[in-house]
């Protein structure tokens, strides 16, 4: 999970947290591995905090303060470092998304965030935040569009998206918004590092996943999974649970239409939205 990233302690709160953690660790005479053993994580995990690769965790910071006898110093820095443009429950997964070599997602209800157009993102955000000011809605939409930058980066991950057929049929934002959204999915599906499949209604008895799921694999760290429901999300790192999710995803992938057949269906539904 390597990432070339400066660790200037004045660059941002996360870099400062990492610098302070390193200073306290070295003062206490611990290696990363030794400190990790005392706070129930790996030395690699500690190193990721120190290099600002991974967002610090409040519970881990509490343990670190206890072991390093630093009062609540790291806990206070952690609260600053955890500020994010995305929802708190998604923030850790959003950071890992930037480092993943492969991202495999299943979407049962809505178009995945990495594939959304601005108009579609605005429509679903406005529906979910009906009583919020326009500025709050636009802030979320802009953050989602910024996430998509990873698809254009030189180190773009392999992206495998499986979308339930119901996603294509839900007229989010109206016919024109959906038409443009499906054309966007078709355009992304033509990229060499993107695969899109559709799970048809007819395959529901062969494979089933009931929530949005993202599985992220890295070149030097264990695979993790993220699941999301209405207003909540969970990052899953326990190997046994991740393995169970992987097996469920493989069944969905096997039951889905081929990429070519999926593209044909997406294009057909896109045209249906243009039909008076």
Average pLDDT of the chain?
89
In this predicted structure, the answer to whether residue 181 has a pLDDT above a threshold of 80 is yes
Give the DSSP per-residue string, 151-164.
GGSTTPPEEEEEEE
> Is 49 inside any structural domain?
yes
Q: How far apart are CA 107 and CA 198, in angstroms?
A: 10
pLDDT at 265 over 80: yes
Number of domains in the chain: 2
Q: Kindly report the backbone phi and psi dihedral angles of residue 4, in degrees, each rounded to the nearest multiple of 5, phi listed first.
A: -75, 110
| Domain end point (choices 27, 46, 81) | 81
Residue-wise pLDDT for 32-58, tens only, equals 999 999 998 888 889 888 888 788 888
Picking from 24, 50, 81, the residue at the C-terminal end of a domain is 81
Q: What's the sign of the alpha-carbon dihedral 156, 159, 187, 94?
A: negative
For residue 5, tell me if it sits in a domain.
no
* pLDDT at res. 216: 96
Confidence at residue 9, expressed as pLDDT on a 0 to 100 scale:
58
pLDDT (0 to 100) of residue 10:
60
Domain that holds residue 210: 88-272
Are 162 and 250 in the same domain?
yes
Tokens 């254009």 sit on residue:
152
Q: Are 78 and 57 in contact (CB under 8 A)?
A: yes
Does 185 lie in the same domain as 52? no
List C-alpha distances in Å: 200 to 16, 29, 64, 139: 49, 58, 49, 34
Has residue 3 been placed in a domain? no
- Identify which of 73, 58, 79 has the alpha carbon closest to the alpha carbon of residue 21: 73
pLDDT of residue 276: 67
């Amino acid at each position: 999970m390597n990432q070339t990233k400066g660790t200037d302690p004045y660059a941002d709160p996360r870099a400062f947290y990492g610098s302070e953690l390193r200073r306290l660790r070295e003062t206490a005479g611990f290696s990363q591995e030794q400190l990790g053993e005392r706070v129930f994580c790996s030395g690699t995990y500690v190193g990721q905090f120190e290099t600002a690769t991974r967002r610090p965790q409040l519970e881990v910071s509490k343990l670190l303060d206890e072991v390093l006898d630093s009062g609540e110093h790291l806990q206070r820095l952690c609260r600053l470092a955890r500020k994010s443009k995305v929802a708190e429950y998604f923030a850790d997964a959003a950071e890992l998304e930037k480092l993943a070599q492969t991202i495999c997602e299943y979407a049962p209800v809505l178009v995945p965030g990495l594939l959304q157009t601005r108009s579609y993102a605005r429509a679903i955000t406005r529906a979910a935040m009906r009583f919020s000011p326009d500025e709050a809605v636009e802030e979320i939409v802009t953050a989602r569009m910024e996430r998509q930058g990873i698809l254009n980066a030189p180190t773009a991950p392999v992206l495998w998206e499986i979308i339930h057929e119901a996603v294509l049929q839900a007229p989010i934002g109206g016919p024109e918004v959906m038409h443009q959204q499906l054309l966007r999915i078709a355009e992304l599906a033509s990229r060499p590092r993107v695969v899109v499949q559709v799970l048809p209604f007819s395959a529901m008895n062969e494979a089933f996943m009931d929530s949005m799921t993202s599985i992220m694999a890295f070149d030097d760290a264990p695979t993790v999974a993220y699941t999301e429901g209405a207003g909540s999300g969970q990052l899953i790192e326990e190997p046994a649970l991740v393995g169970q999710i992987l097996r469920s995803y493989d069944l969905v992938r096997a039951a889905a239409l081929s990429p070519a057949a999926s593209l044909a269906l997406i294009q057909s539904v896109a045209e249906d939205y243009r039909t008076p």
